[in-house]
Amino acid sequence: MTARTGGTPLMTRARAVGLAGSALAIALWWLVSLGVPSYLAPGPPLVAEKLWEFCTDPNLAIHVGASLAHVCIAVPIAVVLGSGLAILAHDCPVTHLMVHGRIAPFLNSFSSIGWTMLAILWIGLNGITVVFAITAIILPVSIVNIQVGLDTLDGELAEMGQSFGRRWRDNFFLLVLPALLPFMFAAIRISFGIAWKVALTAELFGGNSGLGFVVNLARQSFDTAQIFAVIAIIVLIAILSDNFVLAPLQARLSRQYADADG
């Protein structure tokens, strides 16, 4: 955070070192790639060429879209389910132990491959398997995040709401939900980051489309450059979407609520 505001010489020098270090890493990679066969370490030009293919070849580009679709379907399902469970635990204290003492820890310690393998056996090799596996993996993230949000809900505000109306629905939509939005968004942001990464696992084993499927094909033909390219796409989309879409949206959302408070 401070790196952006400070214009001190140290910051500029650190920036320069950061840039130089990245350049050096790429140069080193290039040097190494010249000395070893390309299936061990394909050089930057070869990987760039493969990356370009993703932009020009619709057969490849469609897999990027498929992965995004898997993630964009799974994240809302997980956030809604997770919010539901967290709200249940919050509003009916008897279920607190059930949700946070049984369901969440279980989901949290079940491995992504486990869900994928089970989904393959239950559903088969298709997009539903992938969406199911991703949803199951990111569900505990939503439960925990929304729980934190509910715990910080202003007790006095809730009481005021109670004094105005006893209808649960009005209270929920007018008070609880707006107060929860920033936490829901945090849940969405974290979930998206995780989902985007585990989509690769789920698609590799259980999918018939998506970037994981491309990796699976590339792995069978020892096309390491293609694998590098897919990893580069995943990393790029993860960083870009977080920096330029999710983080600004979240900042705007919390600013809006900060203003409402003040």
# residues near other proteins by CB under 8 A = 53
Q: State which of positions 84-113 bind other proteins (CB under 8 A).
A: 93-98, 101-103, 105-106, 108-113
With contacts defined by CB under 8 A, name the span among 3-11, 45-53, 183-191, 244-252 that binds other proteins: 3-11
Question: Closest distance between other proteins and the C-beta of residue 157, in Å?
Answer: 26
Q: Is 46 a residue that touches other proteins (CB under 8 A)?
A: no
Amino acid at residue number 72: C
Q: From residue 175, how far is each of 7, 34, 169, 181, 255 by CA, in Å?
A: 42, 62, 10, 10, 18
Question: Closest distance between other proteins and the C-beta of residue 220, in Å?
Answer: 11
Q: Which of 6, 22, 168, 178 binds other proteins (CB under 8 A)?
A: 22
Pair of tokens at residue 126: 């298709």
The residues, ordered by sequence, that sit 6+ positions from 243 with a Cβ below 8 Å of its Cβ are none
Query: Which is nearest to 142 in space by CA: 109, 189, 95, 178?
Result: 189
Q: Compare residues 185 and 228 and give the one whose CB is closer to other proteins.
A: 228
Q: Compare residues 174 and 246 and give the one whose CB is closer to other proteins.
A: 246
Pair of tokens at residue 186: 């945090």
Amino acid at residue number 41: A
CA distance 91 to 83: 12
Q: Is 80 a residue that touches other proteins (CB under 8 A)?
A: no
Q: State which of positions 165-194 bind other proteins (CB under 8 A).
A: 193
CA distance 36 to 135: 40
Pair of tokens at residue 216: 């699976």
The binding site for other proteins (CB under 8 A) comprises 3, 10-11, 13-15, 17-18, 21-22, 39-40, 93-98, 101-103, 105-106, 108-114, 117-118, 120-122, 193, 196-198, 200-201, 204, 212, 215, 219, 224, 227, 230-231, 234-235, 238-239
